[in-house]
Structure 1
Amino acid sequence: MQIAIVGPAFPYKGGGAHHTTELAHRLEAAGHSVAIESWRAQYPSFLYPGQQTIAEPEGEPFPGTRRALDWRRPDGWWRTGRALRSSDLVVLAVLTPVQVPAYLGILAGLGPRRRRRARVVALCHNVLPHERKPYDRPLMRALLRRVDEVLVHSGQQADLARGLTSRPVGVAEMPAHLPARAQAPAGEAARRDHLLFFGIVRPYKGLDVLLRALAAGPEEVSLTVAGEFWGGVDATRALVRELGLTGRVDLRPGYVPAAEVPGLFAAADALVLPYRTATASQNVWMAHEHGVPVIATRVGGFGEQVRDGVDGLVCEPDDVGSLTDALKRFYAPGEPERLRAGVRPVDHTALWETYVDVLVTPFS
């Protein structure tokens, strides 16, 4: 099968680019002819205030990658669609409604839906953003009604998609697409009295809840916050001071290169994911790859990824008291070591095989 994936790839960073690239490798390994149509300029900077690209790849780039798409050139969107008319399958990797105008241009180039050769699947990492704008729902409705099928990563996301389109919706669990696969360190079960919050900092991820729980929890425990701060770090610094946590919280704003990730996890007893809402996240898998247990809220897929009391703890979202109790339970005598011993990195080969099968097989 001739397959084109339209989405970010190196030099773009982050989970979307990693997923696009890993999916291309997996489809090619399954015997398909694959190309990635990526971007030379994906978003205007005011829509993505963080660092968009990186100088060195984090993983193996996909050789069949073109980087011709540009948010400033709608004519290029149509030309890309026209060039993909000979494809059997076109996958539109949807990370944000901001991509929709470009994807509509590509669909126009592919031609009317009923006369296309290519089957077009919108692969939605999030059907709608966690923090929504008034234009998000109409944009996603316009896209999902013009593709042939929609692929999502959870039943909740499937229900959301079905509220926007009558097109068939498929569900496949998202496998790991980690930029760095470090094996769990052997024989390192000593308690460190240190926690990690990792990744882009946005309001829905609940860092403020974690800071308040830390202030109310075990006094000897410290925290590193490593990642880009969406909207700036000043408000978080002010909250740290207000809570009297200046000596216990290390803020490291900015993108974390893959080479620095193992050191962050090696210094932590647990990764904390205090999200208010979630769909799918790679951070649980990343922690487990580094041999680190996870304290997470009961949102999205965290309740299935984290085995409560075995390789981490699960608590209620947007609830300082519940997270505080989880921190106290985690730091009971012997618990950090016991939970670390329960961590087992997951072999995602079977998940990827299922994911590829679901994607290449028509849902209807």
Structure 2
Amino acid sequence: MRITLVGPAHPYKGGGARHTTELAHRLSARGHNTAIESWHAQYPSLLYPGQQTIADPEAETFTGTRRRLAWYRPDGWWRTGRRLARESDLVVLTLFSPAQIPSYLGILAGLCSRSERARVVALCHNVLPHERRSLDVTLTRAMLRRVDGILTHSPEQANLARGLLRGDHPDPVAATMPPHLPETGGAQEQPSGERRHLLFLGLVRPYKGVDLLLRALAEGAPEDVTLTVAGEFWGGTEELSELAAELGVSDRVRLREGYVPVEELPGLFAGADAAVLPYRSASATQNVWLAHQHGVPVIATRAGTLPDHVREGVDGLLCGPGDAEDLARTLRTFYTPGTPEKLRSGVRPVDPAPYWEAYVRRLLSSA
């Protein structure tokens, strides 16, 4: 089958680009004639004020990658759709943000302008943003009604898409998002014993719950336990810095602002007893598997698919989402004598192969 994935690839950074690229490799390995239609300019800086691209790839790139799409060239969207109608049997539109949808509608218009066109699947990393606007619903509904299949990364997200369609075809399906981790070399060998340090890693936005983590640190963790928050801060660090000062934990919290390159990851994880994911809400994330790849247990909320990847009391602990008090209780539990070492000993790196086999099968059947 001739398959084209439309989505970010290197030099774009992060899990989205890695997922698109790894999916292309997996499809190609199964004998499909695969290509990636990527971006020359994906978002205006107003919509994504952080660092959009990186110099060095985070994993093996895919040779069949074109980088022609630009958010400011609607004529290019339509032409791309016309070309893909000739070149592809299946087109997969990877949806991360409603900001992509105008270009996808242009591609769909180009596809539909030909009498014979490829089938189209919307691969929804997020059906709707965690912090959404009314226009997001309108755009997403318009796109989902024009495709032949919809793949989401959890039953909850499939139900969300189903609600937007209100019974219209197609019926969304769910598949577990498979591991697509950066190539870091894995865990560094470290001496035994506690680090008395916790790590939050990733894009810092309100739904990620870092404010709840600061409150829990103040209320629940022993006074000698510190925290690093590492990643891009949506809107800057001022609000969280003020909260840390108000809670009296400024001297225990390091806000490491900016995208974290791959080479820094092993050191950050090596210095932590646990990675903490205090999310208020979630769809799917790689951060549990990323921590486990580096030998570190995880403290996470029961949001989205997070509890599917944490074995309670074996390689991590779970608590209620949006509940600083329960997170504080979980931090106290984690730092009972012997618990950090016990949970660290239970960590095992994930095997990606079975996840990808099931995922590719589900994707192809959704078309």
2: CA distance, partners of 1:359 / 1:324 = 40
Is the contact between residue 182 and residue 289 of structure 1 (CA under 8 Å) also seen in structure 2? no
1:333 Cα offset (Å): 0.2
Q: Is residue 150–residue 366 contact of structure 2 (8 Å, CA) maintained in 1?
A: no
Contact 2:184/2:262, CA 8 A, preserved across alignment:
no
Q: Deviations over 1:240-274 (max 9, x none)?
A: 11111121111100000001111000100000000
Other-structure match for 1:214: 217
Contact residue 230 and residue 256 of structure 2 kept, 8 A: yes
CA distance in 2, matches of 1:293, 1:126: 26
1:189 deviates by 3.6
Say whether residues 1:26 and 2:29 are aligned partners: no
Q: Partner of 1:153 in structure 2?
A: 153
Post-superposition offset of 1:199: 0.4
User: How far, CA to CA, are the matches of 2:223 and 2:261 in structure 1?
Assistant: 30
* Cα distance between partner residues in 2 of 1:297 and 1:116: 47
Contact 2:208 2:281 in 1 (8 A): yes
How far, CA to CA, are the matches of 2:302 and 2:171 in structure 1?
28
Structure 1 position 39 matched with structure 2 position 43 = no
Aligned-pair CA distance for 1:14: 1.1
Aligned to 1:88: 89
Please point out which of 198, 209, 212 is paired with 2:201: 198
Compute the displacement of 1:117 (Å).
3.1
- Looking at structure 2, the residues matched to 12 and 185 of structure 1 have their Cα atoms a distance apart, in angstroms, of 27
Q: State how far apart, in whole Å, the 2-side matches of 1:257 and 1:186 are.
A: 20
SS in 1 for 2:200: strand
| Bigger mean CA deviation after superposition, 329-338 or 178-187 | 178-187
Alignment partner of 2:298 out of 294, 314, 318? 294
Equivalent-residue separation in structure 1 for 2:281 and 2:77 (angstroms): 33
Q: Distance in 2 between matches of 1:13 and 1:226?
A: 16
Query: Is the CA contact (8 Å cut-off) linking 1:80 and 1:109 kept in structure 2?
Result: yes
Asked if structure 1 preserves the Cα contact closer than 8 Å seen for 2:82 and 2:113, the reply is no
Match of 2:338 among 321, 334, 340: 334
Q: In the aligned structure 2, how far is the partner of 1:317 from the partner of 1:301?
A: 12
Alpha-carbon contact 1:93-1:125 (below 8 Å) kept: yes
1:247 counterpart SS class: helix
Aligned to 1:53: 53
Q: Distance in 2 between matches of 1:116 and 1:49?
A: 40
Tell me the residue number matched to 1:279: 283
Return the alpha-carbon distance in structure 2 between the equivalents of residues 310 and 96 of structure 1: 35
- State the aligned residue count: 362
What secondary structure, in the 3-state scheme, does the structure 2 residue paired with 1:259 have?
Answer: helix
2:251 aligned residue: 247
* 3-state DSSP of counterpart to 1:255: coil
Name the SS of the counterpart of 2:199 in structure 1. Answer: strand
CA RMSD of aligned residues (A): 1.2
User: In the alignment, what sits opposite 1:264?
Assistant: 268
Partner of residue 3, structure 1: 3
Q: Work out the percentage of aligned pairs sharing the same amino acid.
A: 64
Q: How much has 1:130 moved relative to structure 2?
A: 0.5
Residue identity in the other structure for 1:18: R
CA contact (8 A) 1:189 1:341 kept: no
Q: Distance in 2 between matches of 1:292 and 1:20?
A: 26
Q: The residue matched to 2:142 in structure 1 has which SS?
A: helix
The letter of the residue matching 1:191 is: E
Could you say which residue in structure 2 is the equivalent of 1:171? 174
> Match of 1:60, as an amino acid?
E
Match of 1:346 in 2: 350
Unaligned runs of 5+ in 1: none
Hey, what does 2:65 align to over in structure 1?
65
The corresponding residue for 1:143 is: 143
User: Aligned AA for 1:7?
Assistant: G
> Whole-Å Cα distance in 2 between the matches of residues 112 and 160 of structure 1?
30
Query: Superposed, which structure 2 residues align to 1:89-104 within 5 Å?
Result: 89-104=90-105
